[in-house]
Structure 1
Amino acid sequence: MVCFRADLANNGSREDLDPYVPADHRPQGSNTSSFGALAHLLKASLGSGILAMPLAFRNAGILVGSVGTVVVGLVCAHALHILVKTSQELCVEARRPCVGYADTCDLVFQYGPKSIRKFAPIAREVADWALAVTHLGACCVYIVVVAESFKQVSDSYGGPDWPVTVYCALTLMPLVPLTQITKLKYLVPFSAFANVVWLVSIGISVYYCLTDVPSLNERDLATSLSGIPLFVSTCLFAMEGVGVVMPVENEMERPQQFLGCPGVLNIAMSAVVVLYGFIGFFGYLKYGDEVRGSLTLNLPQDQV
């Protein structure tokens, strides 16, 4: 016992010698279950971007699109695995309960070779700006899709003949005040309403996609190489949910269940790939070269 106490005095406290478990030091609010984390990931990934998958298949072809969707899903899942695994190892190394995107980039450089440690602040800024620009671009795409849908409805029912830009401005009017809400609990009603609308729109789209399906021989199995970049970019835009991966993992009660097999991330990405491939396949099979940026824009306008 005397030797052990002397060893603690020479080498640090008992806390420094014990292995650090980040989950044990997270705040009490970090109690999201594995099922809850899975639900959050699916909600973030299964957005309206799924309606753009038929357009992605049109750019690649029905065979290349099917294989490419799986490949893109594997690449996304692998990249997210690397990100989360690195952050978990850095939590142990830096003795922190959790770290975000910017903190992960900062700590990677701080604990890296001495020659790159001075670039840690730059890495933090690059990570923040990259996420900001990514989300800004995604929001711009969603605004355009919503505005085009409103314009289509307005034109069908004799509304004013305004350009899409005017509908974009009108769409922003209710959305900008919503961005000022910083507490997630206040956004629950809006999120619940959005989920209901999303499920209804997906159900209607799938119904029409599976009605009077043409033969596979009427669709291209593959297109030119110039369409591959368009397919990959559209698929990545629709599929990736990197913006919520770290926050969800940081709030988990058992973060060790986020990775691994099956793991929360693997289950979520598998479901995303299957659903996105299904919508892309049958959406392109149904509408072919006439498919538009959002599948809802291809729905018949002469039915009520």
Structure 2
Amino acid sequence: MRFPRRWVLLFATAATLLATQATVAAEPAPSYSYLSGVLAQLRGPDLPPPGANDWSCRPSAEHPNPVVLLHGLSNQTLTWQTLSPVLKQAGYCVFTTTYGTGALGPLGALTPVPESARQIGDFIDRVRAATGVAKVDLVGHSMGGAVPFYYLNYLGGVPEIGNYVALGAPLHGSTLSGAEAPFSALLSALGVRDQVVAQCGPCDMAPDSPFLRVLNADPAIAPDIRFTTIVSRYDEIATPYTTGQLAGPNVRNIVLQDLCATDFTEHYELTADPVTVREVLNALDPANARPPFCTLVLPFVGPPAG
């Protein structure tokens, strides 16, 4: 028995649609919880998160800039289990790396800021070469939101960046919820403060550090870059939380609790927080921005049903 050609085409189309739906259904939904990064790190230390580092990816006309995700005192696995697959599903080419590793094994952002910035710059050059683009967009958490200012100021990075999104970044130093001063005093008492600071990027981010003038977190140096900062009033690492904000006509500052009073995200959950994720998407594609959905978000674990 022979089926009419239009039936064959119809069956083939239906089978293709069903297969596509099955593939989509089989893809796990991103977990809006920092704990998903912890579990991923235990399963495969320092592996790129889902959706990242497809070096054959070519940016679309809708999203012409690849997105480079930069962790803080952490690594690519711990930090980007949520945002990386969300961006990939939204049609972006996504790239991650672990930079600045030191004595703490898989944790990065430890080396002096100039060295971390050089590694970031080299990675951005690799992404640009692979994708054939002139610019990338940056999304950085904590030190990953601060270190690129050195790249902009001293390593020729300004023309290579379109959007710069900083999440809970110690742009003006951090008191570490009051722990920085006694820690610094202890190092001074032991006579090793200068040596430690010289070898440790985060250790050079005290609010009174002369290095902050060198870092020069001033968006005026790059008026064509769109800067977005996202901070939480419950941040326990980048403190006060206002250290993560900038000033200038090319800046948008977002305080999560101004958008959602029941969002109790702290420093680490920030990269998996659903309100943050929505605002990152809005920052990268403002023409298609949507308001975030406000729900209860708990520290570290995210939404209770997440």
| TM-score, length of structure 1 as denominator length | 0.25
Work out which of the two has the higher radius of gyration on C-alpha atoms and give 1 or 2.
1
Choose between structure 1 and 2 for higher RCO, CA contacts under 8 A separated by at least 6 residues: 1
Relative to its length, the structure with more strand (as a share) is 2
| TM-score, length of structure 2 as denominator length | 0.25
Relative to its length, the structure with more helix (as a share) is 1
